[in-house]
Amino acid sequence: MFEKPLLVINGVGFGLSLLLSLLRHSLSFRIKLLQRFISPPSPSLSAPKKPRNIVIVGASVAGYTAARTIAQYLLPDSPYRIVVVEPRDHFHFTWVLPRFCVAEGHEHKAFIPYGGYLPAGSLEADGGKVKWIQDRVESISRDAITLKSSGEHVSYEFLIVATGSGATDSLPSRVPADSKAEGEELLKQMQKRIKEARDLVVVGAGAAGVELATDAKSKYPEKHVTLVHSRDSVMHRFGPRLQAAALDGITALGVEVVTSDRVMSEDKEKGIAVLKSGREIVCDYLVNCTGQRPDSKLIAQLSPSSISESGHILTKPTLQIQDESLPNIYVCGDVAETNTPHPNSRSAAHQATTCAFNVLSCAEGNKPKETYESHWMEGGIKLTLGLDKSVMNVGNKKTEFIIPSKDKGEALMAAGAWNKLGAKPFEDDGSFLGKIKAQVE
């Protein structure tokens, strides 16, 4: 009887605790700025020195948020600078990828220009303390990273690993391309394949598989769409109410659902997919939407004992890696083992701010104080069930809220994501890339 009201109270309390934490850090930062204004540091202490690096590997939600937070709260006279290493030329808004694999004409909206989410003037090119390197990290040692393209070694005092998951996966979960132009082309190719297919088979009934299958059937009702899932329920990681709502939405569109079975092979010449049960399904295009893999190989090379059986990086509550000999290395986002039931952008951002404030504390000579604990509020999901319907779900293991809704516009919340990341929808003048390339040259 009181479960839902208590859940709401708990959720409000969690939100207030996050807000109060940010207010506390903001007030502390302002006091430090005031103290330096009243009593400036001596010239000898503030004399220019070689910067000490806080290196962030990866700039998806977790890494980008960590960079923003540290840049926002790093004192002007700090000897530290932030070095972000990210191979992609744009931020990939992955939530819209299943939709944009089906709906045409929106592919550019999945690629958001970098730079706008950082505090104004924080890039080195603008006189700030954020150095942005478009490259991959080849390896990590105890005191430096090695860049793949140039072979350059970049030393670090603190390292934040935010390499995410699905790095070797492909559409519709991730875009296997570093350039926006190549990413757009891959989306267009998939749109064309789905449009031309008569018998579409989607493997995996997590969020990406459900959304792609229902979008395809909604846009092309004449197609035969089959959704194959190895578990006994679609959306099996979530509660029973969302599972039921998802199945209702799927079947209402006419998508055939096959559960407790898996695709073992695809015979493209015969045009069939063969299931473990022996059943053969007519198929002229198969889309794999099975689970993502954490990209933990860099830490696996440095500290093999810090990798869990699932491939995630083991962390302390402070989000330092569990290796006691590497207290200056932090991890956040999908690659971190944090016992987060449904990792997403909210949990990644929360972890990123935890890492950021701990690094800032240590940079000032203090111990890391912030800890991360997953909360059910972070696991909420909006699941699309066709081009104009969706269902929102949030709750803990005992109680769920289900909110059906009608959607307007095929682009979903792309414009809102652009605004949040400091970019005007859907304008991309390439100014950020120009700055970082000019800096290298």
Show the 3-state SS of 327-343.
CCEEECCCCEECCCCCC
Q: How many CB atoms lie within 10 A of CB 367?
A: 9
CB-CB contact of 187 with 86 (8 Å): no
CB-CB contact of 176 with 169 (8 Å): yes
pLDDT at 435: 84
DSSP of 137-157: EEEE-SSEEEETTT--EEE-S
pLDDT at 441: 52
pLDDT at 436: 81
Per-residue pLDDT tens digits for 326-339: 999 999 999 999 99
Per-residue pLDDT tens digits for 194-239: 999 999 999 999 999 999 999 999 999 999 999 999 999 999 999 9
Q: How many CB atoms lie within 10 A of CB 14?
A: 14
CB-CB contact of 130 with 67 (8 Å): yes
**3-class state of residue 57 by DSSP:** strand
Distance CA 215, CA 101 (A): 9
pLDDT at 47: 47
CB-CB contact of 285 with 200 (8 Å): yes
**3-class state of residue 291 by DSSP:** coil
pLDDT at 37: 85
pLDDT at 377: 92
CB-CB contact of 410 with 387 (8 Å): yes
Distance CA 231, CA 344 (A): 22
Distance CA 82, CA 71 (A): 7
Which of these, 176, 178, 160, lies nearest to 336 by C-alpha position? 160
What residues in the chain have per-residue pLDDT under 50?
46-47, 167
Extract the runs of DSSP E, i.e. beta strands, from 318-384.
329-331, 336-337, 381-384
**Chain centre distance of CA 251:** 30
pLDDT at 1: 61
Length of the chain measured in residues: 441
* Termini Cα distance of the chain: 66
pLDDT at 167: 45
pLDDT at 317: 98
